[in-house]
Structure 1
Amino acid sequence: MKKIGAGFIFLFVMCAALSTTAFAKQPYSSYWFPEQLLQWSPASDPDAVFNRSTIPLEDRFVTDGVNAHATKAPKVMALSALNSGTSGVPSQGSEKFGANTFTYWQYVDKLVYWGGSAGEGIIVPPSADTIDAAHKNGVPIVGTVFFPPTVYGGKYEWVKQMLQQNSDGSFPAADKLIQVAKYYGFDGWFINQETEGGTPADAQKMKAFLSYLESHKSASMQFVWYDSMTKEGSISWQNALNDKNAMFLQDNNKKISDNMFLNFWWKDLKSSAEKAKSLDRSPYDLYAGIDVEAKGYDTNVNWNLLFPDGQPAITSLGIYRPDWAFNSAESMEDFFARENKFWVGPNGNPGNTVSDQAWKGIANDVIESSPVNKLPFITNFNTGSGQKYYVRGQQVRDKGWNNRSLQDILPTWRWIADSKGTSLTPELDWSDAFYGGSSLKVSGDLSHNNSTHLKLYKTDLKIEASTKLSVTYKTLNKPSLKVGLAFADQPDQFIFLNVKDKTAPGWTTETLNLTPYKGKRIVALSLYFDTMDTISNYSIQIGQLSIQNANDPVKTLPPVRDLKVTQSDFRDGIYGDARLEWKPLDQQVKQYEIYRVLPDGSEVLLGATPNHVFYVPEMRRIDKETLTALKVVAINGRYEQGQASSVKISWPAYPKPIAEFKADRTLVAPGESVNFTDLSTEVTEEWSWSFESGSPAVSTSKNPVVTFNQEGVYNVSLTATNSSGQDTIIKKALITVSKEASAVKNLALGKPATADHACGDKEGAPNAVDGKVTDNSKWCALGNLPHWLQVDLGAEHQISTFIIKHAQSGGEWSGFNTSDYTIQVSNDGTNWTDVVNVQGNSAAESTDAIALVKARYVKLITLKPTQGADTAARIYEFEVYGL
């Protein structure tokens, strides 16, 4: 861990030390089934306050765009799964760099936070960080109510529960949806009813439910209906607005929902547009859906039906699963490249989408919007993720992170790099940053012949007498840089302000006076790179662009008050986490940063949030420290740090070890080796092994390899020791050495298998013992936990090892790998004995070797089938090895 000095923050100690007994748990974003929603309240949900957005929906504007083909009237709705699962979504980002930090908000008018499943929950509000990011960019974001088809576990009783109506005409579930959106701070709901079993009466009740939402919502809320259920109550996708589904959009003069998302298989949109007009609704209230989940920008779309050449767009555009760009990418760099091609086309230039490729990018048809319309405007080009974190150029964190709440307004145009030669290459770069985790990097060979004009932001900023512009950069070359401004009276012409051509180590800030342009409105912001020399391998990092009024009163923020640890928890005596809260400051705060003070007095950033609560992710104890100080410091709108408050956590007494180990196999032939893996708690400092008839017979290695030469059955013991004590574990008859070991095989292959449930006829128990992990050959189970899978081996066998191939082995998301499971054996199928108990597995394939046991029946019990709250079991293969 790199260190920073303690001097840049004034320490204001609010509490000398605090030790709590309540357990601190990672707060997660909400998800519910209808009964849970009806019982939910912020007061009863300890995670609720962590899931609130604190950033209001910003205004944004649209003017003429850079693409001559694009028009203003059509809107874009994106249905995007911004997190990998419905459950297990941390409320305030996480400790990893790789995350779907979507950044093309300028082409989206409404974002649907896509989620929900029969195994997790079907009512899914957006995570707080996605609300924050959307709102910064002026984009309304709505949650999802997803009633799945029955083939995916949907239950019509969930529809009935949502449509329960009181005698006074109110709908309790509708009231809850409005309450959730108001409390969490997002903008409405997308209603997707695809569960079969409805009647005409149910359809009328659904219409009344939607009408109730419309009449009781706040003015800013929006509700979107999906083209699935018809007026008959059946599920029949019309791919159009017609008499079968129009009542869910409009009923005579009464609005029922704000928008309708039309299913994907449309072959004509003009009839839908005319139907909307006949209802006195705009055709742009309809979103013609395209499904890009599988192929992204290789999806075949008949664009001319939606955006006919030389004519107005017929309807708006709905994009289902543009998160394809993240899901299909091999790296974050690849993700950003795929997103760029998806949104602005293969040329990588929103102003030039002319191409012989069918997919020309969304920018070809839709004009970009911008929220950059008030001062101060400051961008650090922070994507909301990073491999490190920097504060004013100083590294304060050396490991990955993501938190979309911290994302800056990124360049409107990515990228317009005009040059008469080969232009320099701009990119968002995570290798260095001035504030946050990324910066703008511009590189290439630079000369006067390829001077490059990089247009960045569409703006509407009025210059006052005290308005100043500053640019912060880092380069090993001369900067060769000017800042370009275009004004409202001549929007196509730029004036350029010189940045001093000097070299300096580290980050350099140049401030430029805009007083000569007082009263003008800046409509575009750019950078211009030029030199009379030739600079090979020119490279510059732009860490910050800022336009602000110098006379605006911005004071150093005071310490936060009432900082306290509301919960804390310790694991193995050396890991601890905590929940913090404090009273938010009355002054304008950009964000709060949370630091850990290390034993040597240096500090490391744990994270940041615009909220007034924060979860401190699990920290490892350093040496045998007894107290750890945590500091909270407020950051103002100019990214200046205020005074810090501090609270301390007391660690428990340093523990002695708990010994544990495993063997990679327990049945071997004479002369074969066994790999032993130490699983003792991390506080272990010394290991002492004993192996009956092994070579070596004793070892002090952490993970020894031992050869067994003589047939027999042998014990293994391990003593784990540290300065606080020791612990010994003896596993009797663990290793069996036999010449018959060469005959070990998968005893479960092709044997009769049964289970508690199956997700469908093609996902039954026999799939788990068919020897295949391809072609989606798996056992899947929905319903109440625990799930179980039982195999009849046909006769009594000596069993030594179990191998389970979880969801990821079959190509599914790693979050679906089984976490907790038990394996039992039996001779009669009635009386069972536990032989394996596993908690916290995350691997795609798990191997559990046991002391040899005789049994005919084997049962796998999945206690926690996934890494999150999804209750669906997914087992591609269950292998049982023995003689």
Structure 2
Amino acid sequence: MNPTRRTVLIAGTAAATAALAPSPYASAAPRAAAATPPYASYWYPDTLPAGSPGPGITWRGLKSWRAADDPDLACNAASVPLAPRFTPTPANTTARAGQARVQALVSFGPTSGNPSQGSATADYYALTHWAYLDELVFWGGSAGEGLILAPNAPVVDAAHRHGVPVLGNIFLPPVAYGGQLQWTRDLVQQDADGHYPLAAQLVEVASAHGFDGWFVNAETGGGNTALGTAMLGFMRELKALAAARGQRVTWYDAMTVNGTVSWQGALNSQNQAFFQAADDMFVDFRWSAATLASSGTRAQRLGRSRYQLWAGVDVESNGSGTYADWDAIVPAGKPHIASIGFYRPEWTRNHLPADQRAPEDFHAADDRFWTGRSLDPSRPDAGDPWRAPAVSVADRSTVISVPFASVFNTGHGLRWYEEGTVTSDAPWNHLGLQDRLPSRRWVVRTAGERPVVSFDFADAWRGGSSVLVTGEPDQPAVVDLYATRLPTGADTVVDLTYRSESGEVNVELAVATAEPGKAGAAPPYRYLAVTPGARVKPVDGWRTVTVPLAALSGTVHALGVRLTATGGPVRWRLGGLAVRPGGTPPVPAAPSAARVTAANGGDLRLAWDPAPGTVRHYTLHRLLPDGTRRFLGATGQRAYHLAGLRPEQGETTARFEVRAVGELYNASAPVTVTHPW
């Protein structure tokens, strides 16, 4: 990678690290009794740097890590398994299934001090366009902090919910940026039996944390053929061990078979052995149309797919304004040449001025990046110089079983809502709380004026966001929501929770029980009346209406809403959608054995035993002396850190309640834990 990219990464990491509070750890040894905030894990292979770590940084060697000794593992272990997904009929005639795939190398935060369970700001890279992704790399690492990064649980949970595997990152930096060849030698060290202990250790880390494998990026120069041979042996053993545990390994085009670092920008004789020892390879940005074409041909001669090569596209500096030779990767009208490897697409957040990083600003830029200038994947703009993934790659979905529910929570917000009521006015982010979100944003089908559809953060039914439709539609407008494979029965119903804020709108549920006849065609929707007045909520006009699907039979392939304006400009908000069996949903079982595991003044660590059955997440509330409840947070994990608590007037014991929240957002009875002040 060139100096510009690496300098930006290191400078950003250093700036973020400098802003942190002093390290919560006194040394590399974990302190299980300390009520310190948990952070995503990172390590050196074995040898630590000379000197002392900077503020907020903990130096640890991976070789000595043991899951049983890791006090933060309960907060860092993902809770959502990797979901299966399917490919519906593409939304347009140019998107292909089974050809180019998309990988993203994303830095969600600094290497050190990256919170395990979200933080108190909405300014966060809340990636939502998972439908176009096939692999996410938790990018980061620096010579002064650590080189091996385990993805934090919120990122893994959100990705897994959408069927996207997540890889941890192994970054052996160039010498110019502090890299030491000893760290490479540490990584590939062998034991007396000729095995590679750190290969086994990496697989154990991924298994314990619940992510899907490793991205290996060896860029430290100065090696020789012996080191190249050792690295190749390490990679072969890592892949074998990873495959046995359902994990994967991706190689970065940097080190060659002779142990030197020489970015090839191609699959060739210098790196072919490493590609063969991995599941995929990220082809460095030096590629050309000719080298990608030859690389794809070589991969096929090896019995591999050309789409196991990620052609690097550096979008860190210019995002959707980046020039790339798209016809060299995903030509129109011909089979794709290779897959796409985006380097740092979090540009969609980072390029915004600090005073323009409201969630809606970020999502507008992110939609532009993934969907294209038209902001509607069903009608791509042929004149757009940025070839967004939606133009070339078919979207995928994981909505395949009942019950299914979404409150369109993007994983960050300005407030927290429960049934239309603000229960916390603090900004927040926690990507693990993100729903399965509509993949085609935003497909609107109308013969008239097209309304604007977006995620909105000014109000929500639950979580932090809702879907807002605004405009003056003069013809019925259908908003596609989900491509699905939902089996239905005679008692299956759909709940819609919505609110009309201005204008008069007739609402219908759009349901398709078959696929469109061809790519780019509309689903064969039937429109079911949504009768107003059912279960009208007293909170700001929100209402939940239940629509039976008894008149339909078979599998539901698509869900949407059809809105017909009957008076004035429209401002209509969708807060929730659920597909479920009829009747009253069963209440989830409660968690058990809630306890305080560490305390330091008003800083506490809580833990509990999981509730049996399927749990979407857990919520934590504080029960105040006057009988009211105060929302504290939510997480998919079975542990949580609370900071800065104070006793209420006259309170001698704090009372906390933990509830399990089911797929339909119904909550269990609470389990209570107390803490004396």
Q: Does the alignment reach a TM-score above 0.5? A: yes
Contact preservation (8 Å) 1:75, 1:109 = no
- Give the match's secondary structure for 1:642: coil
Instruction: Say whether residues 1:496 and 2:527 are aligned partners.
Output: yes
Q: CA deviation at 1:452?
A: 1.3
Structure 1: give runs of 5+ residues left out of the alignment. Answer: 1-20, 251-255, 571-575, 652-883
Q: Which amino acid aligns with 2:562?
A: Y
1:221 aligns to what? Answer: 247
Q: CA deviation at 1:558?
A: 4.1
Residues 485, 559 of structure 1: CA spacing in aligned structure 2 closer, same or farther, 3 A cutoff?
closer
Instruction: Say whether residues 1:370 and 2:397 are aligned partners.
Output: yes
1:857 aligns to what? Answer: none
Q: Distance in 2 between matches of 1:346 and 1:286?
A: 27
- Give the match's secondary structure for 2:668: strand
Instruction: Say whether residues 1:105 and 2:130 are aligned partners.
Output: yes
1:86 aligns to what? Answer: 111
Contact preservation (8 Å) 2:100, 2:336 = no
Instruction: Say whether residues 1:325 and 2:359 are aligned partners.
Output: no
Q: Distance in 2 between matches of 1:194 and 1:79?
A: 19
Q: Which amino acid aligns with 1:260?
A: M
Residues 424, 489 of structure 1: CA spacing in aligned structure 2 closer, same or farther, 3 A cutoff?
closer
For residues 519-538 of structure 1, give each alpha carbon's deviation from its aligned partner in whole angstroms, at most 9, with x where no partner exists.
Answer: x221111111113x3322x2
Contact preservation (8 Å) 1:455, 1:527 = yes
Identify which of 567, 572, 581 aligns with 1:534: 567
Q: Distance in 2 between matches of 1:637 and 1:260?
A: 37
Contact preservation (8 Å) 2:404, 2:663 = no
Q: CA deviation at 1:622?
A: 3.5
2:548 aligns to what? Answer: 513
For residues 801-858 of structure 1, give each alpha carbon's deviation from its aligned partner in whole angstroms, at most 9, with x where no partner exists.
Answer: xxxxxxxxxxxxxxxxxxxxxxxxxxxxxxxxxxxxxxxxxxxxxxxxxxxxxxxxxx
1:629 aligns to what? Answer: 655
- Give the match's secondary structure for 1:641: coil
Q: Which amino acid aligns with 1:442?
A: V
Q: CA deviation at 1:156?
A: 0.6
1:379 aligns to what? Answer: 406
Q: Distance in 1 between matches of 2:306 and 2:626?
A: 64
1:752 aligns to what? Answer: none
TM-score computed with the length of structure 2 as normaliser: 0.88
Q: CA deviation at 1:501?
A: 4.5
1:262 aligns to what? Answer: 283
Q: CA deviation at 1:439?
A: 0.7
1:243 aligns to what? Answer: 269
Q: Distance in 2 between matches of 1:355 and 1:312?
A: 18
Instruction: Say whether residues 1:141 and 2:166 are aligned partners.
Output: yes
> What pairs with 1:810-849 in structure 2 (closer than 5 Å)?
none
> What pairs with 1:604-683 in structure 2 (closer than 5 Å)?
604-623=630-649, 625-651=651-677
2:385 aligns to what? Answer: 358
Q: Distance in 1 between matches of 2:93 and 2:194?
A: 51
- Give the match's secondary structure for 2:551: helix
Deviates more, 1:561-570 or 1:492-501: 492-501
- Give the match's secondary structure for 2:131: helix
Contact preservation (8 Å) 1:441, 1:542 = yes
Q: Distance in 2 between matches of 1:337 and 1:360?
A: 17
Q: Which amino acid aligns with 2:514?
A: A
Q: Provide the identity percentage.
A: 36
Residues 364, 77 of structure 1: CA spacing in aligned structure 2 closer, same or farther, 3 A cutoff?
closer
- Give the match's secondary structure for 2:203: helix
> What pairs with 1:354-753 in structure 2 (closer than 5 Å)?
354-446=381-473, 449-476=474-501, 477-488=503-514, 492-501=523-532, 505-518=540-553, 520-531=554-565, 533-536=566-569, 538-550=570-582, 554-570=585-601, 576-623=602-649, 625-651=651-677
2:35 aligns to what? Answer: 24
1:726 aligns to what? Answer: none
Q: Which amino acid aligns with 1:262?
A: V
Structure 2: give runs of 5+ residues left out of the alignment. Answer: 1-31, 47-60, 518-522
Residues 637, 357 of structure 1: CA spacing in aligned structure 2 closer, same or farther, 3 A cutoff?
closer
Q: Distance in 2 between matches of 1:417 and 1:620?
A: 49
Instruction: Say whether residues 1:340 and 2:379 are aligned partners.
Output: no
Q: CA deviation at 1:617?
A: 2.8
Instruction: Say whether residues 1:125 and 2:158 are aligned partners.
Output: no
- Give the match's secondary structure for 2:645: strand
Contact preservation (8 Å) 1:76, 1:319 = no
Q: CA deviation at 1:506?
A: 2.3
Q: CA deviation at 1:205?
A: 0.8
For residues 448-487 of structure 1, give each alpha carbon's deviation from its aligned partner in whole angstroms, at most 9, with x where no partner exists.
Answer: x332111121111121111111101112454421110112
1:189 aligns to what? Answer: 214
Residues 219, 62 of structure 1: CA spacing in aligned structure 2 closer, same or farther, 3 A cutoff?
farther
For residues 175-214 of structure 1, give each alpha carbon's deviation from its aligned partner in whole angstroms, at most 9, with x where no partner exists.
Answer: 1100000000000000000001111111111111010012
Contact preservation (8 Å) 1:480, 1:501 = no
Q: Distance in 2 between matches of 1:73 and 1:430?
A: 36
1:34 aligns to what? Answer: 45
Q: Distance in 1 between matches of 2:332 and 2:455?
A: 34
Q: Distance in 2 between matches of 1:411 and 1:308?
A: 27
Q: Distance in 2 between matches of 1:389 and 1:539?
A: 22
Q: Which amino acid aligns with 1:337?
A: A
Q: Distance in 2 between matches of 1:597 and 1:171?
A: 52
Deviates more, 1:621-630 or 1:606-615: 621-630
Q: Distance in 2 between matches of 1:624 and 1:152?
A: 55
Q: Distance in 1 between matches of 2:82 and 2:612?
A: 20
Q: Which amino acid aligns with 2:36?
A: K
Q: Which amino acid aligns with 1:546?
A: A
1:290 aligns to what? Answer: 313
Contact preservation (8 Å) 1:353, 1:360 = no
Q: Which of structures 1 and 2 has the bigger CA Rg?
A: 1
Residues 620, 355 of structure 1: CA spacing in aligned structure 2 closer, same or farther, 3 A cutoff?
farther
TM-score computed with the length of structure 1 as normaliser: 0.68
Q: Which amino acid aligns with 1:565?
A: V
Contact preservation (8 Å) 1:29, 1:88 = yes
Q: Distance in 2 between matches of 1:324 and 1:417?
A: 27
Instruction: Say whether residues 1:349 and 2:381 are aligned partners.
Output: no
- Give the match's secondary structure for 2:185: helix
2:27 aligns to what? Answer: none
Contact preservation (8 Å) 2:505, 2:567 = no
Residues 312, 489 of structure 1: CA spacing in aligned structure 2 closer, same or farther, 3 A cutoff?
closer
For residues 553-573 of structure 1, give each alpha carbon's deviation from its aligned partner in whole angstroms, at most 9, with x where no partner exists.
Answer: 953234422111010112xxx
Q: Which amino acid aligns with 1:493?
A: P
Q: Which amino acid aligns with 2:78?
A: S
- Give the match's secondary structure for 2:656: strand
Query: Which structure is higher in strand share?
Result: 1
Q: Distance in 2 between matches of 1:555 and 1:374?
A: 17
Q: CA deviation at 1:624?
A: 5.7
Instruction: Say whether residues 1:271 and 2:305 are aligned partners.
Output: no
Q: Which amino acid aligns with 2:460?
A: A
Contact preservation (8 Å) 1:223, 1:258 = yes
Q: CA deviation at 1:82?
A: 4.3
